Amino acid sequence: MRHPLAPLLAAWLCGHGLTSAAQAVCTSDAAPQPAALFERFTGASCEDCWRDPTTPAPGPRALLLDWIVPGPQGDAAPLSAAALPEAAERLQALGRARPEGSDIHTAPVEPVGPGRLRVAQGPPLSDYLGTVASLARSPAARAQQQGPWTLVLVLVQAVPAGTEGTPVARNLVRNVLQLSWDQRNERPPKEPNRWAELRPMRMPDGAAPASLSVAGWLQDAQGRVVAAAQSHCRAGD
């Protein structure tokens, strides 16, 4: 079902150029495509895991995501406020058990055909951020494969080291959208080689909008990550 704020967000995004690299506000345009997906899963009951100074960190070319996984304590768990059911669903999709403590999964980004993924975000509107994901494909890539692909969009909150009880910097997943992309997502008639999606994503209660960004990846039917991106805001845009 289409969200009632979608028309307003669409009008803002289009009117302020978030579909244009030259007028971008918060986009993935200036950043190289991540070379890997680096996911850290922390059980909601394991506050010591969140406070662990030896928590592994990825290299500079990885897309870092921190997931808080719900556990048997429910809302009584120390980290329950940031726990997401989608974290458990992500683990299940990866064939991994829910950790009592923490777990790490890494996957290379294998750009084998679909094109370059682009993500962007608008300003907060009510309790939502407008997000855009698009995929520009060359004619060769378009002829090679039509999908379907799975697009995963995540709203992430930057938690700097030394804040919120964590000694390491975190990229905390706060909201998730998962969509199927195939030729039906193509945008005719002006952009026949581009797929695009515009969706509002609800911001977490109490989060500063300036700490939020949108990230995402595209995976094939075998679960291979074939494209990834994260938005970055630049002063003066």
**CATH code: domain of residue 67:** 2.60.40.2550
Examine residue 60 and state whether it is found in any structural domain, yes or no.
yes
pTM, 2 dp: 0.85
Q: Residue 45 sits in which domain range?
A: 6-16+27-233
How many domains does the chain divide into? 1
The identity of residue 147, as a single letter, is G
- Among 134-138, 174-178, 215-219, where is mean pLDDT lowest? 134-138
Amino acid at residue number 233 = C
| pLDDT band (50, 70, 90) for residue 145 | low
Contact 131, 155 (CB under 8 A): yes
CB burial of residue 95 (10 Å; 0-12, 13-18, 19+): exposed
pLDDT in tens, 105-134: 999 999 876 678 999 998 888 889 999 999
> Is 1 part of a structural domain of the chain?
no
Q: Give the pLDDT confidence of 172-188 residue by residue, as tens digits.
A: 999 999 998 875 555 54
User: Per the domain annotation, does 65 fall within a domain?
Assistant: yes
Separation CA 217–CA 236 (nearest Å): 27
